[in-house]
Amino acid sequence: MTLRENSVTTILKPDNRMFTLARQGKRQPSALEAIAVVLTVLVLVLIPSEMLTRLVIRSIFQDGIASTTDTIVQNVTGFLPIYLSLWVWLRWSSKRPFRTLGLEKRDALPRALGGALVAGLMIAVTAVLAIIAGAEPVKSQTSGITALGIGLLSLLAYLVQGPAEEVLFRGWLLPVIGARYRPWIGVLVSSAVFSLAHATSSGITLLAFLNLLLFGIFAAVYALAEGGLWGICVWHAVWNWAQGDLLGFALDGTPHSGLLTSIRASGLDLITGGAFGLEGGLAATAVLVIAIGTIATISGRRAPLT
């Protein structure tokens, strides 16, 4: 994780880089307006794009091919418009550059690589805990060059989907509310809206919903500790890809066939997450809580910039 002294301010301080960037706009929107922007993007941009894409794919391809390509294409065509929508809104309403969402060029590559490393470590620990609790790895039916190519394409697609969610919730909603009101309000509101946006996922449970809220807090803490989005953007993409398309856990209640293995939802569902996937179990809860504590501890030892 890239928590460098020359680029990180203390978490939840008003002078955090994320809040400073949000204040560069000529007009500071209210909390209701900021939330309304998120809901508008989800309802009028994301959902119609995904529905249209699904119809097109299933009308062109056979069922087997459609099931393989559906997620990849939807992650690209469904989430790309989110970037465009926010760019238009920032330019028209707030009068500030898109990079002020936390996408400054400084240290972008090391932060991105750090996010990938942290995601890999966290998903590995979570998966091991789930397997210990009874989740059963099964050899994947896909193999060879074709499977490798599909796996690479799916990773690239998640590099569109995951960062799009981070730009919307942690790049826009979190700093806008935190800069105008209080930083902790920005963290809680952005995390709550994030979890509510996923509340319609198939097979969601109360624990899964709480874990999504906890994930939102983790992502907010990560972004604030880094003072930008590059790390958490790549973290989100790698976490989703590794969980679903690499290891074969269900993702948000949707079954996936992994590149290396497909892990069945057996054993203690309370720990493994059952049919919802890892994010519905206590294994993910424990890993997220430890990660939040670790980031907060490391950041707390660093003096804020003057």
Return left, alpha or beta for 95; rule: phi > 0 is left, psi -120 to 50 is alpha, else beta: left
So what's the pLDDT on residue 223? 97
The answer to whether 262 touches 138, Cβ cutoff 8 Å, is: yes
More confident residue, 265 or 129: 129
DSSP 280: G
The answer to whether 266 touches 136, Cβ cutoff 8 Å, is: yes
| Confidence (pTM) | 0.91
So what's the pLDDT on residue 1? 43
Q: How confident is the model at residue 143 (pLDDT cuts 50, 70, 90)?
A: low
The answer to whether 50 touches 204, Cβ cutoff 8 Å, is: no
More confident residue, 9 or 77: 77
- Assign 265 to helix, strand or coil: coil
The answer to whether 18 touches 54, Cβ cutoff 8 Å, is: no
The residue among 111, 109, 110, 89 whose CA lies nearest residue 100 is 89
Q: Which residues pair with 158 in a beta bridge?
A: none
Mean residue pLDDT of the chain comes to 88
Tokens (6 digits) for 163: 């960062």
The answer to whether residue 303 scores a pLDDT higher than 90 is no
C-alpha–C-alpha distance, residues 255 and 275, integer Å? 8
Q: Which residues pair with 137 in a beta bridge?
A: 263
DSSP 1: -
So what's the pLDDT on residue 23? 94
The answer to whether residue 169 scores a pLDDT higher than 90 is yes
Q: 183-197 and 206-226 helices cross at what angle (nearest 10)?
A: 140
So what's the pLDDT on residue 4? 43
**What distance lies between CA 243 and its chain's CA centroid?**
12
So what's the pLDDT on residue 67? 54
So what's the pLDDT on residue 225? 95
Task: Report pLDDT digits (tens) over 36-93.
Answer: 999 999 999 998 888 887 777 777 665 544 455 777 888 999 999 999 999 999 999 9
The answer to whether residue 97 scores a pLDDT higher than 90 is yes
So what's the pLDDT on residue 142? 61
Percent of the chain at pLDDT > 90 equals 66
Distances (CA, A) of 165 to 119, 280, 286, 288: 16, 19, 23, 18
Tokens (6 digits) for 167: 């730009």
Per-residue pLDDT averaged across 11-32, rounded? 92
In this predicted structure, which of 17-31, 60-74, 164-178 has the lowest mean pLDDT?
60-74
Per-residue pLDDT averaged across 199-224, rounded? 96
C-alpha–C-alpha distance, residues 257 and 246, integer Å? 8
Distances (CA, A) of 129 to 98, 125, 179, 267, 268: 39, 6, 38, 11, 11
The answer to whether residue 6 scores a pLDDT higher than 60 is no
So what's the pLDDT on residue 63? 55
Terminal Cα distance for the chain, rounded: 23
So what's the pLDDT on residue 7? 35
Q: How confident is the model at residue 305 (pLDDT cuts 50, 70, 90)?
A: very low
Per-residue pLDDT averaged across 97-125, rounded? 97
Per-residue pLDDT averaged across 130-159, rounded? 83
So what's the pLDDT on residue 144? 60
The answer to whether residue 262 scores a pLDDT higher than 50 is yes
The residue among 177, 229, 169, 163 whose CA lies nearest residue 22 is 177
C-alpha–C-alpha distance, residues 76 and 53, integer Å? 10
Helix (H) or strand (E) holding 45: none
